[in-house]
Structure 1
């Protein structure tokens, strides 16, 4: 066990030095850019790297873990300013394919069989390469055409090392800058680590795909690939290959005789069904993860990143959509405050006013032309100003809605997301106020009151008995970061400094009394006298 611990510590230190080297390289580049020579070089060579650009370049050099974390930060206005978010959105996971022979050896290891025993055909050239896995295509002995995703070697260990270092740095950062506690950086990294570790387990992705297949089993306009679970492992995923056209290739779609307007409608309906009917959605529906099949059918792939919404999140989206369409700022502000879990919010009126001012920007503009996801983002930006905590799932939801809106309007500019979402929102609201749900809530409330009334006499008797016996105790826990502890430490240092200064002053006088020519005593006397004088002046000027 000790050898394993030493080896893990060595890997952590090695990775830490790699990260330090990358940070130092880019830090010197940033410092040089602001010197006289750097500014002159920029004028001559016209090479300009802004600070946000250098941060993006640094993150790309740090590797896939940091790239994915940067991509998440790009969708968090409560964490990162707008100019940095714009740059972080450019982050790309530039993955170089690793050796195919090695990849095939890993596939055979996961299958526990040679390729010939599972596949009748197998293309040894990779179809795609990503930061976590590499994709191949082939045909099973059953005749089914499939894609095969194999995890990169040692990628799990690398990501776990990076997560360990991120958590360590975030905790140190939170201790050093307690005023940034509202940003909850440690909580964000915990959420990120949980997300990326799930992506490392392909059995979870296979489970997600099967869940979506059940959701859309009766919907002919959506196709979810079949997963061949008998061949899947934690590091290997084998699923049906989808043949279709990317939704951003308008020329190919028109050449195939497909209906662009119907494609846009089917895509919007599919994602809104995921979000508002099931509360479980594809969190990365960009054109690379969507294919348009025959009959305007929408096919989805890559289910590693999914979002799950709580009932409160669903209620927020429904209330926001209805308030947005009716241009009711009261409904929108109430939905936002409820989303943040605030029953009593002292700045409610100011928030309502800002939401009203935002909605006034859309006066006279048809609802069909307004960017719905952009409106939600504007409201989130307002909420962030009040330092309210927004559930992380909402940021993932905004990203999915923004991608959907861009995808739909590129196919059919006349299609607006807001009117399409309202019927789904009304169903959520109906469910919220359905007799069954109201009855359930009333029952829970009454049950809580009955429990309170039943337990109250016993609780009071216990408190009075302990008070009578003198057994009531109150524990005061002081964290190292509390203001009280910091104040005590500061006062202790000042007292120690004063005691040491006075001791040196008195000691120097004693030395001079016994030996008038003692140069050391005279030096200490002069030095301490100056320090005491300076300290007295500091105290005098600090008195208000």
Structure 2
């Protein structure tokens, strides 16, 4: 098992080898010892090619990370995307003696399970290798077997990648816009899913069910009695690569028919099922003698919920119709956040991209130009988008490239638009949408019918004196001040009233023998009460007018 320290040393050595010694100095712990060890001899290769070569030499974790990053056209320059798409995870195979114990974990007695297991693998990749086997009952299987020790190596590399992302964020603040730590977390989730071959098998079976009504598509059957987390047993299928035009013709098939069948299969997966094969490079798509397209490798799967499918349809329709407002609206629904300060500039750039696409002769350009233009615009303004959107766009571009290779007259735009219109209509008139609309209408009607009852309940609550009123501190202070002023006026009124009543009583009994000054006080009380009364009326009128203003 490679320790974390040893792995750091290997990474540093590879970076220095390909001329990235300065990067190693900055981000590798203890990298200062590498100072001055950049690439000595002049290298004519581009920086992007050297990045790709370094990634390949660093091993499976970094190759997988590079392959996933090759879908992020909104983040990386086109030249780097092109190099990352060339990443190959074909490696030297592990000797059969090391693979045999992994197979034995899923079948204790190999002699009872198999007549033959070919020691020479059919194919070898960074995470697994494929061996052809024949069972006791004569079935020919392909055994996808996980490479021993790969899980520990990847977990070590994931820890290192997290550490490097944190150091890069600290040392290079400008990189924070790319959310490097978030990228590593997304990648960790993806590669751990790929390491679980049980999930691979479940993905295959779901694709098989979804595409069961398409006779031109074949998904190998999974044999669960011989499968588990580190081995997947499936039917062995003979076929040629889908991009091998001459081999397809040698089978007596028409490449144009294969292109049309593959296109229809992906349209159904993406826009109808919302569950699609996410890695359609030619090595994962075979064509059988019967003209069937065989899908292989189910580790990368795109998932689109129904509401997202509708938005993606709207996005592609808007792009095909040069509708910039529609494109922006669809992106917004996909949680793509565009800074208002650059929104007009983004719209202008998108408009130019779509105009260039529409005004160019249709034979010279395909819909991929519009998609690449969109992703280039997003990258230029550093606008992040959901990974699912980028996977879908990557798949569409790869399907177009394969389609054009098989059929030079293949035009994605002309083919996709009728499908999108039909799908958009079907989605809006689907049972789920109709049911949702009916439920909304029923809910609105119930709300209207409930209004009299709610009003009655409110009045009843008011009459019972059980209403709770929430007040802010400012409102409470104002109420206290009003109460204080009102209480002062009430006190004055009571006093004045008492004086009037008292003076009246005194004058009423004036015929009795009382001192003269008492009568004088009564008269003065009347005068005081009149003055205070007039002042109170004047004050009330003045404050009333002020309030109205």
1:1-20 maps to which residues of 2 (within 5 A)? Answer: 11-20=3-12
Conservation of the 8 A alpha-carbon contact between 2:98 and 2:148: no
1:114-513 maps to which residues of 2 (within 5 A)? Answer: 114-342=109-337, 345=340, 347-367=342-362, 369-434=364-429, 436-437=432-433, 440=436, 464=471
- Which residue pairs with 2:30 in the alignment? none
Secondary structure in structure 2 of the residue aligned to 1:136: strand
Deviation of 1:345 after TM superposition, in Å, equals 4.7
Q: Give, in whole Å, the separation in 2 of the partners of 1:464 and 1:442.
A: 40
Larger CA deviation: 428-437 vs 209-218 = 428-437
Conservation of the 8 A alpha-carbon contact between 2:357 and 2:369: no
Deviation of 1:294 after TM superposition, in Å, equals 3.1
Specify whether residues 464 and 273 from structure 1 end up closer, same or farther in structure 2 by C-alpha distance, changes over 3 A only. Answer: same
- Identify the match of residue 54 of structure 2 among 48, 58, 81: 58
Conservation of the 8 A alpha-carbon contact between 1:340 and 1:388: no
Secondary structure in structure 2 of the residue aligned to 1:299: strand
Q: Give, in whole Å, the separation in 2 of the partners of 1:367 and 1:321.
A: 17
- Which residue pairs with 1:109 in the alignment? 105
For the aligned residue pairs, the C-alpha RMSD in angstroms reads 3.4
Q: Give, in whole Å, the separation in 2 of the partners of 1:38 and 1:231.
A: 49
Instruction: Note the alpha carbon deviations across 1:178-220, whole angstroms, 9 max, x for none.
Output: 4433312111111111111011000000000000110011211
Secondary structure in structure 1 of the residue aligned to 2:116: strand
- Which residue pairs with 1:541 in the alignment? none
The answer to whether residue 15 in structure 2 is matched with residue 23 in structure 1 is: yes
Larger CA deviation: 119-128 vs 342-351 = 342-351
The answer to whether residue 96 in structure 2 is matched with residue 100 in structure 1 is: yes
Secondary structure in structure 2 of the residue aligned to 1:146: strand
Conservation of the 8 A alpha-carbon contact between 2:336 and 2:386: no
Q: Give, in whole Å, the separation in 1 of the partners of 2:307 and 2:403.
A: 27
Conservation of the 8 A alpha-carbon contact between 2:67 and 2:87: yes
Instruction: Note the alpha carbon deviations across 1:39-62, whole angstroms, 9 max, x for none.
Output: 9x64xxxx5233323322222221
Specify whether residues 395 and 297 from structure 1 end up closer, same or farther in structure 2 by C-alpha distance, changes over 3 A only. Answer: same
Instruction: Note the alpha carbon deviations across 1:485-508, whole angstroms, 9 max, x for none.
Output: xxxxxxxxxxxxxxxxxxxxxxxx
Deviation of 1:461 after TM superposition, in Å, equals 5.9
Deviation of 1:405 after TM superposition, in Å, equals 0.8
Secondary structure in structure 2 of the residue aligned to 1:294: coil
Conservation of the 8 A alpha-carbon contact between 2:217 and 2:292: yes
Secondary structure in structure 1 of the residue aligned to 2:240: coil
Secondary structure in structure 2 of the residue aligned to 1:269: helix
Instruction: Note the alpha carbon deviations across 1:112-159, whole angstroms, 9 max, x for none.
Output: x22221112321211111100111001222322110011111100100
Secondary structure in structure 2 of the residue aligned to 1:120: strand
Conservation of the 8 A alpha-carbon contact between 1:369 and 1:416: no
Deviation of 1:390 after TM superposition, in Å, equals 0.6
Specify whether residues 444 and 132 from structure 1 end up closer, same or farther in structure 2 by C-alpha distance, changes over 3 A only. Answer: farther
Instruction: Note the alpha carbon deviations across 1:49-86, whole angstroms, 9 max, x for none.
Output: 33323322222221110111122222223332333333
Conservation of the 8 A alpha-carbon contact between 1:135 and 1:150: yes
Instruction: Note the alpha carbon deviations across 1:161-186, whole angstroms, 9 max, x for none.
Output: 11111112212322444443331211
Conservation of the 8 A alpha-carbon contact between 2:350 and 2:373: no
- Which residue pairs with 1:494 in the alignment? none
Specify whether residues 301 and 16 from structure 1 end up closer, same or farther in structure 2 by C-alpha distance, changes over 3 A only. Answer: same
Specify whether residues 469 and 69 from structure 1 end up closer, same or farther in structure 2 by C-alpha distance, changes over 3 A only. Answer: farther
Q: Give, in whole Å, the separation in 1 of the partners of 2:339 and 2:439.
A: 24
Q: Give, in whole Å, the separation in 2 of the partners of 1:195 and 1:466.
A: 52
Deviation of 1:432 after TM superposition, in Å, equals 4.6
Deviation of 1:222 after TM superposition, in Å, equals 0.7
* Equivalences, count: 447
Conservation of the 8 A alpha-carbon contact between 1:321 and 1:421: no
Q: Give, in whole Å, the separation in 2 of the partners of 1:462 and 1:52.
A: 66
Deviation of 1:443 after TM superposition, in Å, equals 5.0
Deviation of 1:303 after TM superposition, in Å, equals 1.1
Instruction: Note the alpha carbon deviations across 1:448-498, whole angstroms, 9 max, x for none.
Output: 998xx99xx9xx96864899999xxxxxxxxxxxxxxxxxxxxxxxxxxxx
Q: Which runs of 5+ in 1 are unaligned?
A: 1-7, 471-544
Specify whether residues 444 and 380 from structure 1 end up closer, same or farther in structure 2 by C-alpha distance, changes over 3 A only. Answer: farther
- Which residue pairs with 1:476 in the alignment? none
Specify whether residues 159 and 343 from structure 1 end up closer, same or farther in structure 2 by C-alpha distance, changes over 3 A only. Answer: closer
Q: Give, in whole Å, the separation in 2 of the partners of 1:364 and 1:353.
A: 16
Instruction: Note the alpha carbon deviations across 1:194-252, whole angstroms, 9 max, x for none.
Output: 11101100000000000011001121111111000111010010000111222222222
Q: Which runs of 5+ in 2 are unaligned?
A: 24-35, 459-466, 478-549
- What is the TM-score normalised by the length of structure 2? 0.73
Deviation of 1:277 after TM superposition, in Å, equals 0.8
- Which residue pairs with 2:546 in the alignment? none
The answer to whether residue 66 in structure 2 is matched with residue 70 in structure 1 is: yes
Q: Give, in whole Å, the separation in 2 of the partners of 1:180 and 1:302.
A: 33
Q: Give, in whole Å, the separation in 2 of the partners of 1:57 and 1:251.
A: 31
Q: Give, in whole Å, the separation in 2 of the partners of 1:290 and 1:468.
A: 71
Conservation of the 8 A alpha-carbon contact between 1:78 and 1:183: no
- Which structure has the bigger radius of gyration? 2
Conservation of the 8 A alpha-carbon contact between 1:314 and 1:428: no
